[in-house]
C-alpha cells in the first residue's frame, strides 16, 4: 500500500478528487496518511479531517526564519513516512533539500500545458489570466515529478482543455480543474501506486498505458 502525504495551500479540490478516487476504488494500492498546509485557513485541512485523515498546518509565520520553517515542513512530511508526496495546490516553493529527499517520489499538478504558462509567477489564477491575455485556444493541466527547477520535472500526464469565448480566469480555472486536473491527478497516482511509472533519462515511461484509464 502506497503511503501518500498531500501538501496543500488552499481549497483542496484536487485533494478531494484524490480522496474520492480512493473511496470509489479508482485508485488502488494507495492511502492518504497525512495532509500538510502552510496556510492555517486552507479549506483542504477541513476536507482531510472530515475524512479522518491527520491534517497539520506548518506556517512560516510561526518560525523565526525561512530555514526553520523549511526544516519543520520537511520534518512533518517525513513523519508520515510517505512513499509519495503529492503537491495539490501547494504554493510553497519546495526547498532543495526536500526535493532531493523525495526524488522521483514527489509530484505536482500545474494548471497549464507545460512548458507553456509555467515557471516563476505562474501559479493559481495567474496562470489562467496569462492564458487569456495571450489568447491561446487550448490550455490544460500537467502532472509532473518535482525537481529543483520550477515546473521543470519529468512530465507524467497532460490533458488539453479548450478556451471559450467569454471566459474569465475563474471560469477557465474551473473548466481546467473539472476536465483535466481532477482526472489526471488521480490517474497519475493510480499509475504510480501500481508500479507502472518509471523515469529514464529525465523522461517518464508508463507501462501498458492507454490515456484516460480511470
The footprint of ligand GAR (CB under 6 A) covers 8, 10-14, 44, 88-89, 109-111, 123-124, 177, 181
Q: Which residue, 82 or 128, is less far from ligand GAR as judged by CB? A: 128
Q: Is 124 exposed, middle or buried (0-12, 13-18, 19+ CB in 10 A)?
A: middle
- Out of 51, 110, 126, 144, the active site residue is 110
Annotation says 144 is catalytic: no
Distance of closest approach, residue 14 Cβ to ligand GAR, in angstroms: 3
How far the first Cα of the chain sits from its last, in Å, is 19
Q: Which residue, 83 or 124, is less far from ligand GAR as judged by CB? A: 124
Distance of closest approach, residue 171 Cβ to ligand GAR, in angstroms: 13
* E strand or H helix that includes residue 129: helix 125-134
State which residue has the least CB distance to ligand GAR.
89
Q: Which residue, 13 or 190, is less far from ligand GAR as judged by CB? A: 13
Q: Which residue, 177 or 188, is less far from ligand GAR as judged by CB? A: 177
In eight-state DSSP terms, residue 181 is: I
Helix axes 169-176, 125-134, angle to 10 degrees: 110
Distance of closest approach, residue 142 Cβ to ligand GAR, in angstroms: 9
CB 82, CB 53: distance < 8 Å: no
B/e letters for 163-183, b = 16+ CB within 10 Å, e = fewer, are beeebebeebbebbbebbbbb
Distance of closest approach, residue 181 Cβ to ligand GAR, in angstroms: 5
CA distances from 113 to 24, 139, 182 (A): 28, 6, 15
User: Which residues carry out catalysis?
Assistant: 110
Amino acid at each position: 500500500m502506497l503511503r501518500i502525504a498531500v501538501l496543500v495551500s488552499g481549497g483542496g479540490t484536487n485533494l478531494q478528487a484524490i480522496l474520492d478516487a480512493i473511496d470509489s476504488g479508482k485508485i488502488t494500492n494507495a492511502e492518504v496518511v497525512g495532509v500538510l498546509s502552510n496556510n492555517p485557513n486552507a479549506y483542504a485541512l477541513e476536507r482531510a479531517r472530515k475524512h479522518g485523515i491527520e491534517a497539520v498546518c506548518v506556517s512560516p509565520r510561526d518560525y523565526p526564519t525561512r530555514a526553520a520553517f523549511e526544516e519543520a515542513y520537511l520534518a512533518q512530511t517525513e513523519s508520515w513516512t510517505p512513499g509519495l508526496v503529492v503537491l495539490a495546490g501547494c504554493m510553497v516553493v519546495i526547498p532543495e533539500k526536500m526535493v532531493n529527499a523525495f526524488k522521483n517520489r514527489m509530484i505536482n499538478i500545474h494548471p497549464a500545458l507545460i512548458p507553456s504558462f509555467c515557471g516563476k509567477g505562474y501559479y493559481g489564477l495567474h496562470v489562467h489570466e496569462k492564458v487569456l491575455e495571450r489568447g491561446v485556444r487550448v490550455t490544460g493541466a500537467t502532472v509532473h515529478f518535482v525537481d529543483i527547477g520550477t515546473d521543470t520535472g519529468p512530465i507524467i500526464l497532460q490533458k488539453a482543455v479548450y478556451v471559450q469565448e467569454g471566459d474569465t480566469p475563474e471560469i477557465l480555472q474551473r473548466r481546467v480543474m473539472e476536465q483535466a486536473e481532477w482526472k489526471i491527478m488521480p490517474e497519475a497516482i493510480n499509475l504510480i501506486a501500481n508500479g507502472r511509472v518509471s523515469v529514464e533519462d529525465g523522461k517518464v515511461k508508463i507501462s501498458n498505458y492507454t490515456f484516460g484509464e480511470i
